[in-house]
Structure 1
Amino acid sequence: MQDLKNTTIGGKSITLKRVPARDARHIQTMLVAIIAEPLADALGQQVSNKQTQGDQILAGLKGVANILPRLSDGELDALIDKCRPFILVEGKPFNENEHFDADTLFDMYEVLWYFLKETFEGFIHAVLSRFPQAATMTALKK
Structure 2
Amino acid sequence: MTTARTLAVPAPAPDAAVKYFGAELGFEVDPDDLVRDLEAGRTDGYAVVETRAPEAFARARIPGAINLPYRDLTPESTAHLDKTLVYVCYCESTQCNAATKGALKLAELGFQVKRLSGGITAWIAAGYPTEGDKAPGIRCAC
- TM exceeding 0.5: no
Larger helix percent? 1
- Considering Cα pairs closer than 8 Å and 6+ residues apart, tell me whether 1 or 2 has the greater RCO: 1
**Alignment TM-score, normalising by the size of structure 2:** 0.31
Give the TM-score of the pair, scaled to structure 1.
0.31
